Amino acid sequence: MEKNSKVWYQANGPEGDVAVSTRIRLARNLKDIPFPNRLSKAGLLEVARRVDEALASASAGLYQEFNRIDMESLNDYQAMAMAEKRLISPEFAINREGRTLFLKKDGSVSIMIGEEDHLRIQVMTPGFDPSPAYDLADKIDTLLDERLGFAFDERLGYLTECPTNLGTGLRASVMLHLPALRSNGMINRLSETISKLGLTIRGAYGESSEAAGAFYQISNQITLGISEKGAINNLISIVKQLISQERQTRKSMAGNEKNLDQIWRSRGILSTARLLESKELIELVSNLRLGIALGLFDDLDPSLPNLILSETGAATLMDRQKSVLQPNQRDKLRAEITRKILAS
Amino acid sequence: MEKNSKVWYQANGPEGDVAVSTRIRLARNLKDIPFPNRLSKAGLLEVARRVDEALASASAGLYQEFNRIDMESLNDYQAMAMAEKRLISPEFAINREGRTLFLKKDGSVSIMIGEEDHLRIQVMTPGFDPSPAYDLADKIDTLLDERLGFAFDERLGYLTECPTNLGTGLRASVMLHLPALRSNGMINRLSETISKLGLTIRGAYGESSEAAGAFYQISNQITLGISEKGAINNLISIVKQLISQERQTRKSMAGNEKNLDQIWRSRGILSTARLLESKELIELVSNLRLGIALGLFDDLDPSLPNLILSETGAATLMDRQKSVLQPNQRDKLRAEITRKILAS
């Protein structure tokens, strides 16, 4: 990744007051090679070799924008730091043997070789912007399919390791910041409706279903009997409604002095704390993000909340220091980095 | 009081890292007039007239430094605002009928006419500085005694309404900030020892014995069988020990990252909060004061904590706005004033 330019997850995108990021992911497999779970290391490396070749022959310009990363060359925290930034999946960070990653230098496209499927093509973009992200994923998919020949069945569509991905192999996700809908409890009722419409909603941070910082990930679940465009349009329509309801609810929130007090204090604490645990940081950044959206902090760049979150994950901190850090050391460094970002 | 110069309770005095203020109070009564609880309004006004006359004849210079305030001309919050700044006692603020106050323009000397005794001569000074305060109180006492003739018994000393003041009629008090001794619980053991030595220690803020913000008031209890100087020297020696123990304990406190984190956050919250309840404010200002004493906030004037506390009492806020304020309105105004003081 380029060190000195702003990468995708640190930018503020369309509908950035509510939408954090959009991700399009396609699951694809080569037809003449067994699925990764039945494949040797040599087999995995052969897939990587073919993808490398296909990328290079498809477009010299595109190929040069990618770094090829041998996942075995990374240590645990280097790999988990990439997962924290959502460049790769946590599973791919943990199980690195024989795995290869093709990562676009700005972090916006990653092709994981040997995750659950041979290829996971992932395109990420700040804010809510699924159509260009899908178009780019589709373009890469087409380029590679022409050269590699993906496993495809006329009736089932793209064949995948897990049946839940059969068909389009597409998962489109949007990360939304919904503090107002969490605060008035409406998110719980909405999530039932969302499930009925073939989508899931879950907390974007933390292991539990609890949505730390009111960050939610909404994704399509249906991949069979629907076109890729159809699935994306379905997601677009639901997300638009959620964004509009969140904005509506924020208006009444902004009239409440206690809410404003909490938002202002969060900025004060982020600017001064010497120790910040991860969970507290996420809640404070959530308030900061809401404050920016409400126009309280016109002196702050709207991308600051994304920047703080992307720089302060536990593994990211260790990657930065190039050493294992104890929780207390992380809390200290997390607070230090947060203060610097806010003072910049 | 002069509006544009720093008054005594807003300044930082000797041993100001631990000591907030020193107060010397003398209870005196005129010999030919009954005690205030058996005195008519006309009688109270007669006492005031005589004190006025005595002050004027004693020293024209001194007399001009005083304002004469008819306590009946004040409304409830105006009077309570003076009590919050410790210019008068809360009892004197509540029971104003026929009462007169002679108040030095910088707030450092007040003579309450008709509190529990005919005269309560009070001298206040920032930090820990009892000797000059006593000397001034003694000077005023002598000047007035020569002209008014205070009730005095060879065996009992000065005669007072309440037997606990008989003798010297002196109460010397020091307000100390003891966050380290509160934090490690040592203050509880020390207060037993202090009682045995004829002094009392109690919380300086709030009705309960709980010491909000770790602000404590230490005063002598013994007035009989001891000279005024003796009582003050006793207090000086105990307070010096407390100050030294507090400083010692702070050193180990300063090595703890969680303590430093709390101190820094307090500054952050005070600088940003939109609502501040009185009790929370006192705790936050206590942390701010400790941070200044530990050298963390070299950009802040050491008198800032005193200034914030003196400007944000409930009655002081109402006096400022010249209207009765509901708790929520006070919390808002308190936060606003605090932010302004910290940003200045």
Q: What is the pLDDT of residues B113-124, one digit of tens each?
A: 999 999 999 999
**Closest Cα of chain A to B14: distance in Å?**
29
Report chain B's mean pLDDT, rounded to a whole number. 93
Write out chain B residues lying below 8 Å of A260, CB-based.
Answer: 274
Write down the pLDDT at residue B8: 72
Distance from CA of B243 to the nearest CA of A (A): 28
Give the residue with greater pLDDT, B206 vs B328: B328
The pTM for the full model equals 0.91
Candidates A257, A259, A260, A261: best to mutate against B (most CBs of B within 10 A) is A261
Give ipTM to 2 decimals.
Answer: 0.88
* Residue B194 near residue B201 (C-beta atoms within 8 A): yes
pLDDT of residue A323: 95
**Is A296 near chain B, with CB under 8 Å?**
no
Q: DSSP for A224-274? A: SSS-HHHHHHHHHHHHHHHHHHHHHHHHHHTT-HHHHHHHHHHHHHHHH-S
Instruction: Please check whether residue A26 is in contact with residue A169, taking contact to mean a CB–CB distance below 8 angstroms.
Output: yes
Arithmetic mean of pLDDT, B29-53: 94
Torsion angle (degrees, nearest 10) of CA A143, A147, A148, A150: 50
Write the pLDDT tens digit of every residue in A199-222. Answer: 999 999 876 667 899 999 999 988
Beta-carbon count within 10 A of B251 CB? 10
CB contact under 8 Å between B261 and A335, yes or no, is yes
Given CB atoms, is B254 within the 8 Å cutoff of chain A? no
Structure confidence at residue A11 as a pLDDT band (50, 70, 90): confident
Residues B157-194 have pLDDT tens digits of: 999 988 888 899 999 999 999 999 999 999 988 888 89
Q: Which residues of A touch B256 (CB under 8 A)?
A: none
Q: Which residues of B touch A261 (CB under 8 A)?
A: 273-275, 335
pLDDT on residue A3: 46
* Residues on chain B touching A253 (C-beta within 8 angstroms): none
- In the three-class reduction of DSSP (H, G, I as helix; E, B as strand; rest coil), residue A73 is classed as helix
A29: tokens are 């497999």
CB A136 within 8 A of CB A123: yes
Q: Residue A267: its chain B contacts at CB < 8 A?
A: 268, 272
Strands A100-104 and B109-113: unpaired
* pLDDT score for A54: 95
Average pLDDT for A254-275: 96
Computed on alpha carbons and rounded to an integer, the radius of gyration of chain B in Å comes to 21
Question: pLDDT at position A6, please?
Answer: 63
Q: Does A332 touch chain B (CB under 8 A)?
A: yes
For A244, A288, A290, A343, the CA distances from A12, given in Å and listed in that order, are: 18, 14, 14, 19
Summarised one tens digit per residue, pLDDT across range B238-263 is 999 999 999 999 998 888 999 999 99
Cα separation, A80 vs A281, whole angstroms: 19
Give the per-residue pLDDT at A26: 96
Q: What is the Cα–Cα distance from A123 to A61, expressed in whole angstroms?
A: 17
Where are the alpha helices (H) located in chain A, listed in sequence order? 41-58, 60-64, 76-84, 90-94, 130-148, 179-183, 186-196, 228-253, 257-272, 278-293, 304-311, 314-321, 327-343
Give tens-digit pLDDT for B13-28: 899 999 999 999 999 9
In this complex, the residue of A265, A271, A272 whose CB is nearest that of residue B273 is A265
| Shortest Cα–Cα distance, A293 to chain B (Å) | 18
| pLDDT the model gives residue A275 | 98
* The 3-state secondary structure of A262-288, one letter per residue: HHHHHHHHHHHCCCCCHHHHHHHHHHH
Average confidence (pLDDT) over A23-38 = 93
Q: Which residue of B253, B263, B275 is the best one to mutate when testing the A interface, meaning the one whose CB has the most A CBs within 10 A? A: B275
Whether residue A2 is predicted with pLDDT greater than 60 in this model: the reply is no
Q: Could you say which of B267, B269, B275 has the minimum Cβ distance to residue A257?
A: B275
- Residue from the list B264, B274, B328 with its beta carbon closest to the beta carbon of A272: B264
Distance from CA of A76 to the nearest CA of B (A): 28
Average per-residue pLDDT in chain A? Answer: 93
Residue B4 — pLDDT band, cuts 50, 70, 90? very low
Res B297 pLDDT > 60: yes
Task: Give the per-residue pLDDT at B218.
Answer: 95
**A:B CB pairs within 8 Å:** 53
- Output the pLDDT for position A8: 73
Contact between A269 and B269 using a beta-carbon 8 Å cutoff: yes
Confirm or reject contact between A210 and chain B (CB < 8 A).
no
Q: Where are the domains of chain A?
A: 1-11+21-167, 171-250, 257-343
Query: Which is higher by pLDDT, B61 or B173?
Result: B173
A328 touches chain B (CB under 8 A): yes
Cα(A220)–Cα(A233) distance, rounded to whole angstroms? 10
In the predicted structure, residue B5 carries a pLDDT above the cut 60? no
**C-alpha distances in Å from residue B234, one per residue of B120, B174, B231:** 22, 12, 5
What's the topology of domain B1-11+21-167? Answer: Creatine Kinase; Chain A, domain 2 (3.30.590)
